[in-house]
Structure 1
Amino acid sequence: MRKVSILRSIRKIYQFFVDVPIKEGKVLNDRYEVLRVIGTGSYGIFYRCKDLKTNEIRGLKQLRPSKHHNKKEVALFENEIAVLRSTNHKNMPVLMDTFFNNAYLFYVMNFIEGDNLEDLIFLKRVSFNEKESLQLIADLLKLIDYLHSKDIYHGDLRIPNILLKDGQPFLIDFGLSKQGISMDSASSYEMKQQDHYDLGEILLYLLYTTYPSKNKKALPWTEELTIKKETVHLLKRLLQVKESYSTISEISADVQAALQADERLH
C-alpha cells in the first residue's frame, strides 16, 4: 500500500509540472485563440476559444500532456471523438475539428452557453420541486433515448455533466461513453443499466434541493424525502432497489405517471 501511495504522489507531482494549461492568447492550429481555461478533468483540459476564421466561440478539449504517451488514455480520448462524430443532436456537443499541436491531441466543438447543474445546486442554491425534478428527468430521458437508439451509452451521467440553457438540459463530457459496436451484449446491458442508475442519482440530487436538513443523523432518502408514491417507485427501480428498468420507454412511462399524479393533487 505504501508503494502504491508513493507512486500516486509521484504521478501527481509529475502532472502538476507537465499539465500546465495553455496561456490565454495562444493561437492553436493557426485558428483557435485560447480565451480561458474552463476546467480540468481526469484526462483532459477544456478551454473557451475563438475561431479566428469564423469569429465564433468554440470549446476546445486537450488531452492532458501527461497522458499523451499512455495508449489507454489516448484511446479514451479518441473514443470520445468517435462518439461525438456519431452524434448529431442540438442538446449535445457537435464535433467541429480535430488536430495535433506539438504532438498533443485536441478536438474542437461548438460552445454551449449554459449553467452547470452542479453549480446551480451547490453554488447558486437553486431548488427544484418534485414536479420540476421529474420534468427535468423527462427531458434528460429524451437525450438518453437518442443515445441508446444509436447504441451509445454515456457512462458518466452526473450533475457536473449537465448544463441548463433556457430550461433545457444539455449533455456534455462523453469521455467515458461507449458504443455498442465495440462491446458484447453483456457489456452493453451493463452500460445501459449504469445510465439508468445515474438518472436515479440525478433525480435524488434534484429532490434534495428542497429538503430542509434538520436531522443531525443521516437517514435513508425513503425516510427523509416527502414525495409521491409514484416517484418513490420510479426511484427504487432506477436505483435498482426493486426490479431494474429494461428500456427508456419503461422509465418514461413511470415518469409521466408521477407527473400526472402531481397534476391530480393540484
Structure 2
Amino acid sequence: MHILRFIRKTYQYFVDKPLQTGTVLQDSYQVLDLIGTGSYGIVYLCKDLKTMENKGLKQLRPSKQRKRNEVDIFNKEIAVLRMLEHKNMPTLYESFSHNGNFFYVMSYMEGDNLDKQIFFKKKTFNEKESLLFLAHLLELIDYLHKKDIYHLDLRIPNIMLKNDEPFLIDFGLAKHVASDGPVYSRKAIMEMKLQDYYDLGDILLYLLYTTYSSKSKKALPWTEELSLADETVHLLKRLLRLLRPYSNSSEIQTDLHAAIKAKGGH
C-alpha cells in the first residue's frame, strides 16, 4: 500500500504541475497566483481580462482526467454551483476545457478560511460568539438542504470568514438529490442531512475550544473540559448524535435560540 501511494504521489507531482503565472485561458482569464490544491483540484486567482475583476479558477488535477468517474465528479460540482444563488456562496461564471484540461470560473472570495483564522491569526470565539456563528452557518446549510443539496464536507478550511460572516466554499463532495440523477433512499438522504448536522456540531466544538486553556495534562472529553451552558451542551449532544439526532433545521434553530438566549443573546 505504501509503495502504491508513493507511486501515485510521485505521478501527481510530475503530472499536476500548476499553471504558470501569466498564463491566459480562453483569451479571458490570466493566472495571477496559486491559491491552493486539494485532492481533486488546483485553484488559482485570476484576472478576468474583459471585466478586470479578480475571479477564482479551479482546474481538475491532470492526474484525475484519465478516469471518467473523476471527470464526472468535477462536472457534478459544476452542476451544484450552477444552482447556487447566495451571497455567501460561490457564483459560477462558466466552465470550459483547454488543451485537454477541465476548468471552471467562479467568484473570488478575499480573506482567510476559518482554519487559518483560528490557528495562524489566533482568532477566538467565546460561547455566545460561537453560537451566533453557528446560526449563520445553519442558515447556509438550510438554504442548501431546501435545494436538495448536501455539502458533506463542512470543515473549517472550507469556510471563509469576511466581516465575521461565514462563506461556504469547496462543493467537491456535495451531492444534489435530483429527480433525474441517482435514486437515493429516504434513509440515504437522511444520513446525508445528519452528516451536515454532525459537521456543524464539530465546527461548533472547534470554535468553543478557541478560548479553552488546558489546566490538566490529561485529555478529557469536551463535556468535562468545557464549561458550557446546559442549553449549549444539549445542542452539541444532539448535533453530534450523542442524544437523539435532529431531523430538521427548525429543531436545531429552536435549541440554538435557547442556547443563545441563555448566554444573554436575542
Fold conserved between structures, TM > 0.5: yes
Instruction: Tell me the matched-pair count.
Output: 262
Could you list the runs of 5+ residues in structure 2 that have no partner in the other structure? Answer: none
2:73 to 64, 73, 76: 76
Which residue of the partner structure matches residue 145 of structure 1? 142
1:72 and 1:191 map into 2 onto residues whose CA distance is 21
Give the equivalent residue in structure 2 for 1:198. 199
CA deviations 1:108-133 (Å, max 9, x no partner) are: 00111232100011011110000000
SS in 1 for 2:21: coil
Q: Which residue of 2 aligns with 1:51?
A: 48
Matched, 1:185 2:186: yes
CA distance in 2, matches of 1:184, 1:178: 13
Opposite residue 218 of structure 2, the aligned amino acid is K
Residues 199-220 of structure 1, C-alpha deviation per residue, up to 9 Å, x if partnerless?
A: 0000000000000023221110
- Specify the SS of the correspondent of 1:59: strand
Structure 2 counterpart of 1:16, from 13, 18, 23: 13
Mean alpha-carbon deviation: is it higher for 140-149 or for 107-116? Answer: 107-116
**Paired position in structure 2 for 1:113:** 110
Separation (CA, whole Å) in 1 of partners of 2:237 and 2:152: 20
Per the alignment, residue 89 of structure 1 pairs with 86
User: What TM-score do the two structures reach when normalised by structure 1?
Assistant: 0.96
Equivalent position amino acid for 1:235 in 2:
L
| AA at the equivalent of 1:163 | M
The CA deviation at 1:189 is 1.1
2:61 to 60, 64, 75: 64
- The CA distance in 2 between the partners of 1:214 and 1:67, in whole Å, is 47
- 2: CA distance, partners of 1:225 / 1:72: 44
Determine the C-alpha separation between the residues in 1 that align with 2:9 and 2:251: 44
Alpha-carbon distance in 1 for matches of 2:65, 2:186: 31
Q: Does 1:165 align with 2:166?
A: no
Q: Which of 118, 122, 146 matches 2:119?
A: 122
Q: Deviations over 1:214-249 (max 9, x none)?
A: 322111000000110000000000000000000011
TM-score by length of 2: 0.96
Question: What corresponds to 1:154 in structure 2?
Answer: 151
Counterpart secondary structure, 1:66 = helix
CA–CA separation in structure 2 for the residues paired with 1:215 and 1:79:
47
- Give the secondary-structure state (helix, strand or coil) at the position aligned to 1:258: helix
2:34 matched to 1:33?
no
Q: Which amino acid aligns with 2:85?
A: N
Q: Moved runs in structure 1, 4+ residues, more than 6 A?
A: none
1:34-75 deviation per Cα after TM superposition (whole angstroms, max 9, x unaligned): 000000000100000000011000000000010001122111
Inter-partner Cα distance in structure 1 for 2:216 and 2:104? 47
Aligned partner of 2:225 in structure 1 is 224
- Name 1:131's counterpart in structure 2: 128
**1:237 matched residue in structure 2:** 238
* Separation in 1, partners of 2:236, 2:111: 27
Amino acid at match of 1:232: V
Q: Give the 3-state SS of the residue equivalent to 1:108 in structure 2.
A: strand
Q: Which amino acid aligns with 1:144?
A: I
The answer as to 2:101 corresponding to 1:100 is no
How far the C-alpha of 1:8 sits from its partner, in A, is 1.3
Q: Partner of 1:246 in structure 2?
A: 247
What is the alpha-carbon distance in structure 1 between the residues aligned to residue 214 and residue 10 of structure 2?
39
RMSD of aligned Cα (Å): 1.2
1:164 maps to a residue whose letter is L
Aligned residue identity for 1:78: N
What displacement does 1:87 show?
1.2
- Percent identity over the alignment is 62
